[in-house]
Amino acid sequence: MTPNDEPGAVVGDAALANAALRLDTGWTIRWIRRSAEVLAANRAALNTLDRDIGDGDHGENMDRGFQAILPKLEELTDETTPGAVLKLVATTLISTVGGAAGPLYGTAFLKAAGAVGAVQSLDATALVALLTAARDGIVLRGKAVEGDKTMIDAWTPAVNAASAAQTAGSPVGTVLLAAADAAEHGAQSTEPLVARKGRASYLGERAIGHRDPGSQSTSLLLRAAADLMSHH
């Protein structure tokens, strides 16, 4: 009997996928393409979330921005670094996405690009640096903290979970999954909060019961990255 015939083969398969996962330029490009697919599929849902407590166009804006990135990805080669891909995403989002999302996500990807520098592949340490720099860029731009009912409520748990997994010696795929899971829970946690930033803050307690759309799009982006563990 081989190990894969025994109970726990799923864990073995996951471990193999984790070991084979390489967050290089090709992976980074696939992440952005997958994000574009996910945001397009969730455009209406994100608009609905934003309609409840904002302008109602978050899904439209995010979809437009990521669709604008796709043709530019075709011009990149495997010699392009992951950081260069992230910088391309940043500049495109800043120039094409309206509302608060463009500057916030643009800054996040720009800071992330700076954090990973010219490395050819991201290990667990670089991934944590990427996530941390992205979160810090959003804080710098939007001045929000955890509990304000913003995308930071998804980003900060993601950073904390990724950092804890990396400190524990987990491989990069496990770190990525930890970040995605924490972002998902973080997005859910915004529902009972009173907003303290942005247009939603004008609603006071009427914002209670509604999920922050930025936290949801953050969750979608990080889940898209984690999904590539089984599709790389």
pLDDT in tens, 144-187: 888 888 999 999 999 999 999 999 999 999 999 999 999 999 99
Assign 122 to helix, strand or coil.
strand
**What pLDDT score was predicted for residue 9?**
36
Listed range (3-7, 58-62, 226-230) with the worst mean pLDDT: 3-7
Listed range (39-48, 117-126, 144-153, 171-180) with the worst mean pLDDT: 144-153
Per the prediction, the chain carries an average pLDDT of 87
**What pLDDT score was predicted for residue 2?**
34
For the segment 109-128, the average pLDDT, to the nearest whole number, is: 97
Q: Is the CB of residue 222 less than 8 Å from the CB of residue 178?
A: no
For the segment 33-51, the average pLDDT, to the nearest whole number, is: 96
At 58-79, the pLDDT tens digits run: 999 999 999 999 999 999 987 8
**What pLDDT score was predicted for residue 99?**
80
Listed range (52-56, 84-88, 146-150, 204-208) with the worst mean pLDDT: 204-208
Residue with tokens 């006071």: 204
On the CB side of 67, CA atoms within 13 Å amount to 11
Greater confidence, 4 or 162? 162
**What pLDDT score was predicted for residue 220?**
98
C-alpha torsion sign, points 146, 147, 152, 157: positive
